[in-house]
């Protein structure tokens, strides 16, 4: 199922590029899925890692994910999908609220995604400086609010042994970029 999810996501994101670079967009979902797989998480969660941006950024809908990959994968993708009809702030507040109350697999997916995005941002800042912020829908202060809010809420409801090491990596990265 993981191979099929990777192939489906690759096809869905064909022609899309990452912000601030000429990298194929699919490199991001692949890194997210690989991180989740390294942690030993479920096949459904790894598939959701590959597919997490498909509904948000391509012609495919949640029903397509559900049909091909099942209820659980569709649930995980849906929990992570933003409603693009809402403002940036509303979408980000929804993600913050979601991560605070979500089941652990949703938390794992969201943080793996945010960590990969911020690792890319950190590299872009080193290469291009603060002009990178101009490529975002919200500036540095709003991005700081969003990412620090994710950090404040990502461990809520988790036992210490349920917190993957990359949560600490994300927290340290947020401090490096925004403090």
Query: Which residues are marked as active site?
Result: 56-57
CA–CA gap between residue 5 and residue 178 (Å, rounded)? 34
In a 10 Å sphere around its CB, with 0-12 CB exposed, 13-18 middle and 19+ buried, how is residue 145 labelled? middle
* Residue 129: partners with Cβ closer than 8 Å, 6 or more residues away: none
Cβ(137)–Cβ(89) below 8 Å: no
């Amino acid at each position: 199922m993981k191979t099929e999810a990777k192939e489906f996501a690759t096809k869905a994101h064909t022609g899309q590029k990452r912000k601030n670079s000429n990298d194929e967009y699919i490199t991001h979902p692949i890194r997210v899925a690989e991180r989740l797989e390294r942690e030993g998480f479920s096949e459904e969660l790894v598939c959701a890692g590959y597919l997490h941006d498909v509904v948000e950024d391509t012609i495919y809908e949640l029903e397509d994910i559900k049909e091909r990959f099942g209820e659980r994968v569709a649930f995980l993708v849906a929990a992570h999908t933003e409603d693009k009809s809402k403002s940036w702030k509303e979408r980000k507040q929804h993600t913050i609220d979601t991560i605070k109350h979500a089941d652990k697999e949703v938390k794992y997916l969201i943080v793996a995604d945010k960590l990969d995005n911020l690792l890319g941002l950190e590299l872009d800042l080193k290469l291009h400086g603060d002009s990178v912020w101009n490529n975002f829908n919200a500036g540095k202060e709003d991005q700081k609010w969003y990412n620090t809010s994710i950090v404040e809420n990502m461990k809520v409801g988790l036992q210490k042994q349920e917190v993957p090491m990359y949560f600490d990596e994300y927290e340290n990265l947020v401090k490096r970029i925004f403090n």
